[in-house]
Every structure is written in structure tokens, then in C-alpha cells.
A and B are shown apart, each in its own frame.
Chain A
């Protein structure tokens, strides 16, 4: 009985300790110029119905384990197929490359690029990989991929603020003050959400001039085979 009680007590405290460990790791992390991490929220309108379009989360890391020239890059979310149909999954390079650079202030596009820490980057990778697994195993949570994409962008952006306020948040919660979910079709919500986050976090957006030049250079991607789920 004593051991069962002890096991119960441990099972209650282990998640709390694990969460504390995550934030401790983030607090202790120090930025280095040789390795930088970015998260980009990118979207376009007027591609699909209801004036909606692609909206995805892109992760970029430069300075890998082997060389300072290494760049790790990937994006996940909603993109347009060759027939302009909405598709949910790992975004092809041809789609996300357009958002490696700033594209001016076009009303039909949004881009917010923030610099994040190494631990934040790893947590974001974990979230995107979990969605990649859902696509691979045909285990999405909704029959409508527009809802899955909302869940993905919500998880990815809220995870940034788990330990500290990296972004000024917008509460996408279908509450009384949430105008975005009230007035937009599901497929368009991520675009409007990114637009609002960009407005709220204009000072945190990293301009092209502050990004290592290597990250802005387009090159043929090498398939990544070293990391698995």
C-alpha cells in the first residue's frame, strides 16, 4: 500500500517537474551567433474558397552539428497543390521558399519571423513532427483539414509562450472577444490570426537585414534522413 501511495504521489508530481525542467532548460540557454533559430508564420489569401489560402509554420535553424553553413529548414501546415486545392502536410520547398524573404506589405500576404531559443525550436519541431505523424498514419483529429490546421498553428504559437512571453498573444479561443473566429471561415482563420500576431508583435519581427545571409540564399534541399520520430 505504501509503495502504491508513493507511485501515485510520483505520478502526480512527475509532469509538474517535467514542465519545470523544460522552462529551466529554456532559461539556461544562451544565444550564440554561430547557431540561430527562427520561426516564421506565413500565409496568403485568395487562393482557395472564402478568400482563404495557404498558412503554415516554418522553422529554420542555421549552424548545425557539422558545419556553420548547415541550414535545417521545414514548414508544416496548409498549402496549395498544383491544382490549387488545399492540402495539409509538410509544405514543399517551392511553397515555403517564397517566405524566406520579406515580401513587402502586400495585403494578401502575411509573414512574421521571430528568433527563438534552441529549446523552443526543439519543442516546435516536436509539435510539427507529431502532426507529420498524424498525416502519415492518417490519424488527423478532424474530418476537415481546415480545423486541423487551426489546431496546429494554435499549438505552435502558444508553445512559444510556455515559459516566457516570446510573442504578445492573441487569444484564439472562440470567446466573446475573439473577432477572428467569429468573422472568418475556418480555412481563413490562420491567415487572420497570423496577421493579428504580426500587428501585435511588429517589434519582434526579424527583418531580412538581421538574418544571416546564408538563410536567405535559396539552394536545393538535401533530404533529411538522420532524425526520426
Chain B
């Protein structure tokens, strides 16, 4: 009998539970992707490193959540247009890379008025997209993690320069989404923070004098 091993790595290349060096805990994979204009990019090096970014997942043929989420993101983009492409960037990654090539993503973006400065649609190898999906959006619960539509309903906010990660549902009010994004803004200088704090305290003082309680949150 001539026996052949299916896996050359048998017994050698393995992940041992205690070490946790096999991904999963790796924060942002540097996978190769393509933009809606078919430009090759490295996800971490080219798009995220040192930047403040908003990331969501979608697919072009999604009829439920994705168009609603995209239209909410268009509103968010309008509200932050002065920052988009300068110190804030948006990325929409397809959940179905087998179906969504660059052209399909461009059509989707065009159809939803989302071909805007600082907003990039991304596709890539299904293996890499899955790695990215789990790294950015996993719940550590297999049922939820296998539900692609569940992952389409989240907006991940990352400021890589200060290692801050937040999550918000884009279906929350625009004000809530904008507030979450502001929590990942780069810290203001001390003087500015003291000035803002003084102004807030004065406002609170005025409200307490007028209404008997604090109205501002």
C-alpha cells in the first residue's frame, strides 16, 4: 500500500490554545483588497494605519438592511463632509466577494449616491474577506457570526492612532452615530478641553438656575 498524507503539516504547524498566536486576537489583518475602481490596496497599511476610519459590511444584492444602512451613511458623510478624505475615511466591504467585483460595487455606490470623497468600497479574496469580517465584527458566538446580515448592521469606528475601537448600529439616530464617531476623535489639546469644560459648566449653571435641574447631557 502506498499511503500519502493529505496534509504535509500534520502534527507540526498547529495552534495550541494557551498561546493564542493564531489570529482571532490579531486586530486588523493586512489583507489585499481591491477598490470599486479596481485599485489594489493593503487593508491595514494603506487604509487604516494611523487613521480614523468608519467600516461597515454590505453586499450589492442585499435588499434588506444594506440600502438603509448605506443611506444612513450618506447622511453621516454629509454631516462630516469637511473631514471626509482628510482625517476621516469610510470603507464599505462586501460580504459576498464571489458576487461583488469592483464593477458591481461601483454600481451599488452610484445607485445609492455613495461615490463620495473619502468613501471606498472594497472587495477581495473570499478567504481574506472572511478573516476581515471575523476580525472586525465577530461576536464570539457562532450563530451570530455565521449570519452575514447580522454583520451588515454594524458600523465599526476605529482610530488607529490612539487604538480606540467603537461600534454603533448605523440604524441609530444620526446624532447617536455622530456622537459615537466623535468619541474616537483624536484627543483635543489640554487648553481646548479646559475651555470646552468651562463653557459646559457655565451652561449647566445657567440651566440649574433657570429650571432647577441640569438639562444638557
A binds B: yes
Q: Which residues of A approach B to under 8 Å, CB–CB? A: 4, 7-8, 11-12, 14-15, 18, 59, 64, 66-67, 69-76, 79, 81, 85-95, 125, 128-130, 132-148, 150-151, 154, 173-175, 214, 217, 219-225, 227
B16 touches A140 (CB 8 A): no
Q: Mark B88-101, 1 if CB is under 8 A from A, else 0.
A: 00000000101111
B3 touches A220 (CB 8 A): yes
Name A's interface SS: mixed
A221 touches B5 (CB 8 A): yes
B23 touches A74 (CB 8 A): no
Q: Mark B9-51, 1 if CB is under 8 A from A, else 0.
A: 1111111111011111110010000000000000000000000
Smallest distance from the beta carbon of B10 to chain A beta carbons, Å?
4
Besides the contacts A138-B15, A141-B134, A143-B20, what 8 more A-B pairs have beta carbons closer than 8 Å?
A12-B61, A74-B6, A74-B10, A87-B16, A89-B13, A132-B13, A138-B21, A224-B7
Question: What total count of A-B pairs have CB within 8 Å?
Answer: 183
Q: Which residues of B approach A to under 8 Å, CB–CB? A: 1-18, 20-26, 29, 60-61, 96, 98-101, 103-104, 107, 127, 130-131, 134, 138, 140-143, 145
Q: List 22 A-B contacts (CB under 8 A).
A: A8-B60, A8-B107, A71-B1, A73-B5, A76-B7, A81-B16, A85-B16, A85-B18, A87-B14, A88-B14, A89-B11, A90-B14, A91-B10, A92-B11, A134-B22, A135-B15, A139-B26, A144-B24, A145-B17, A147-B140, A150-B142, A222-B4
The CA-CA distance from A137 to B13 in the complex, in Å, is 10
Smallest distance from the beta carbon of A3 to chain B beta carbons, Å?
9
